[in-house]
Every structure is written in C-alpha cells, then in structure tokens.
Amino acid sequence: MKVSGFVLFAILGLQAVGTMAFDGPFEDCEIYDHPRKGVCNDRGICVNDTCQCEDGFTGLSDFINTEGLDCQINELIVDCLWGFLLFAAVVGQLLSVPKFLDRYRRHKERGHPLKKNKILIAIILYETIVVPSVILAAILKLADKSQRVGVTPGITVFFFTGKFGFYLTAFFIQPALTEAMMKGSKLGKNPVIDRIIRIQYVGSFMMFVISSLLALLPFITIANGGVYDETAEIVHLAYFGGSAFSMFAYSLQCVFLIFKINGVMKPSGLAAGTPSDDKLEQTRKALVSFQKQTLIQQYINGGIFTAFAAAQYMWNRHDYYFPLSWVVFIVLGKKLADTHVGDKSSSKGTGSALKAVGSLLVSKSKGSAAATEDEPNSKTQTRRKSSFDI
C-alpha cells in the first residue's frame, strides 16, 4: 500500500513537471504573469531581455535562480530576517549553554550510560550540528549577499547540515517523550504501548532520512551551474513536493497514534485490574495533545511547502521563508534547555517530561505528566501540580 502511494505521487510529480516545463529563453523579461506588477517586479528596467534592478533589489534567489529575470528580492528585508535569526541564536546560546552544561554535569555524577539518555544525546547533536549551521549560515548570508541555496555551495552546505541536525535531534526527542510518559504510567507491560512507541520511532526515523535526502537535492543545481533551467525546476518540485508529501504522511501517523493512545488509555480501554486515576487521564491527555500539536505543525508546514511547489509566483520567494523557518531551530534549543530532569536523590521525585518538537508552532499543552529521561530505570514517578516545564 505504501509503495503504491509513493508510485502514484511520483507519477503526479512527473505530470506536474511536464506542465511547468522550462519555457526559456525569455523575451522582454516576462518569466511569468505577475498578478499585480509588471516586468522586473516594477523594481527595475528590462534591457536586452535582462532585468537591471534598482539598488537594494535583485532576482538572485534560492532553488529557482531568477537573476536577470526578476527583481522581487528586497535585500534589506532579507538582511533583517537573517540578522534577527543570528541575534536570536546568540541570545539563545547565552541562555541555554549554562543549563546544558549543568545537565551534562549531573549526568556524569550519576554515572549513567550516555546511550540511555536520549535527551542528552539530542542536546549534544543540537549544539554540535544545528547551532553552528544556524550561526555560520546567518553570518555568511549577511557577509555575502550573493549566497543562495542551490546556487552557491557555502549556504547550501549549511542548509543541508542544519536540516540534517534538526531532524536527527527531533528523532531522539519525539519518541523519547512518548516512551517516557507511557512507560511512566500505571499501565504496566502492554503490547499496544510497545507498538505505539515503535511506530513513533520508525516514523521519526523515516522523517529524518527523507528530509536529509531532500536537503541534498540543491547540490544538483549547483553541479548544473546554479542556473534556471529544466533541472532547477525538477529539483525545486522534488524538494518542496517531497517535503510536503512527507509531512502529510507523517500527519497520518499522528492521527493513528491519537486513535491508539485513546484506545489503550481511556477508562473504557483499560485492561481488567488496571487502576484508573487522574494521573493516568492527565498522561493520556498530554500524549494526545502532543500528537495534535505535531499534527498541526505538519499541516502548516505541508501547506507552505505545497504552495512553494505548486504556485509559480512562489518559486523565487524562498529567500524570505528560509531564515523565518529556522527560528524553529532556536525554539527547539530553548525547549531542550528548559526541560527539567529529576534527581534520584531528590525528594521531589522526577522532573517533567519533554515535549519539544511537537509544540514548536503552537502554545504549551495544559496537561501534565511526569517522567524521567536521565534515569530510564527509575521507578519513582511523582505527580506534579504544574504543567510541563518546557
């Protein structure tokens, strides 16, 4: 069933490529009918079929490079967006690094194996891959205005490493939350719970693999000279269409998990002899809320990527979306840093569970549940009155 779905998507993709085949060379700088403005986006003049843009505007753009064909990129706005991202990244590090170091120190004191502490592994990956990619990409974009994904190698490398690091970090966080919360409940050993956890791990891993492979596609256009031609259009459609497809597919997993979680944790679905109390119900609501938030995130991102793939007017607008979308990376770091972890010697019991990735685009969940990630073998689970401390 999954294979037939991918085949159908591939066929539809090839049909889409056929309908948007490259029509160059262009005459009178008319690469497409602008919905409101004339040629060169009314920010330049067309001379010998080439746009000569006003100062502060350019057609040089990510993926679909329209340099000389359009003047829609406002360089000041792009610089401000990258400057904001750089500022947020630096401030985020100043606030987060001390908490990360304290977490690592406490982990060393306990003597637990690193491989059992998935959240600490996620923090290490975040600090060694994601953060350098964000900061170096912002510096490079501010220093060299000609840097474009799929056109120049520098920013394209950071584009790949940033996406690779983010989804690898998410792979360790998302399933770890579900596992910690469900195993910390009073359900005991349950094959349905084990199945839910396995599905979460498989789904997150597939999202990581697919997103990483798609992030490699811009290197094809670089090898092709970074020009706007049939190859650039196919790469553009493959990246944005493939990303949208993977996000919508992942959203189906969220719907399935919501159904399964409700089935196994609602009072009507509990096995005979299983205690039903407020804590178990809070855990169920928190898990369902987590999946719903992830679902919303996938729908929003999937819709945006679909627009980039399908709407010709959006083809050279990625320059604005790029720095805005990477603000999510900074939010991820804050959530990792603010996650409290229980201390085995503490009388207060365990810390609150992590719900980092699923709530990146939405507000905090109102549910609450406790779980320990630094101490995977701890049997102490203490109910907390507050909501998740993320």
Half-sphere exposure of 33 (CA within 13 A, CB side): 1
Q: Report CA-CA distances (Å) from 270 to 273, 360, 370.
A: 8, 31, 20
In tens, the pLDDT along 73-98 reads: 899 999 999 999 999 999 999 989 99
pLDDT at position 161, please?
97
Percent of the chain with pLDDT over 70: 72
Question: Higher-confidence residue: 300 or 338?
Answer: 300
Instruction: Retrieve residue 113's tokens.
Output: 């194996």
Q: Report CA-CA distances (Å) from 91 to 101, 295, 331, 333, 381.
A: 16, 29, 11, 11, 34
Is it the case that residue 151 has pLDDT exceeding 90? yes
Name the band, by pLDDT with cuts 50, 70 and 90, for residue 187: low
Is it the case that residue 387 has pLDDT exceeding 70? no
Name the band, by pLDDT with cuts 50, 70 and 90, for residue 38: low
Instruction: Say if residues 287 and 197 touch (Cβ distance below 8 Å).
Output: no
Half-sphere exposure of 218 (CA within 13 A, CB side): 26
CA dist., res. 324 & res. 306, Å (int): 17
Residue with tokens 């050279």: 316
pLDDT at position 20, please?
45
Half-sphere exposure of 128 (CA within 13 A, CB side): 8
Name the band, by pLDDT with cuts 50, 70 and 90, for residue 107: confident
CA dist., res. 129 & res. 172, Å (int): 14
Name the band, by pLDDT with cuts 50, 70 and 90, for residue 184: low
Rounded to two decimals, what is the model's pTM? 0.77
CA dist., res. 245 & res. 178, Å (int): 24
CA dist., res. 235 & res. 291, Å (int): 31
| Average pLDDT of the residues in 134-149 | 94
In tens, the pLDDT along 305-349 reads: 999 888 877 888 899 999 999 998 898 888 887 765 433 333 333
pLDDT at position 72, please?
84
In tens, the pLDDT along 239-290 reads: 999 999 999 988 888 898 888 888 777 665 454 444 556 777 787 888 888 8
Question: Higher-confidence residue: 241 or 187?
Answer: 241
Percent of the chain with pLDDT over 90: 28
The alpha carbon of residue 375 and the mean position of all alpha carbons in its chain are separated, in whole angstroms, by 27
In tens, the pLDDT along 6-31 reads: 444 444 444 444 444 444 445 556 65
pLDDT at position 359, please?
42
What is the DSSP secondary-structure string of 276-328? Answer: --HHHHHHHHHHHHHHHHHHHHHHHHHHHHHHHHH-GGGTT-HHHHHHHHTHH
Amino acid at 190: N
Strand partners, 58: 73
Is it the case that residue 153 has pLDDT exceeding 90? yes
CA dist., res. 221 & res. 223, Å (int): 5
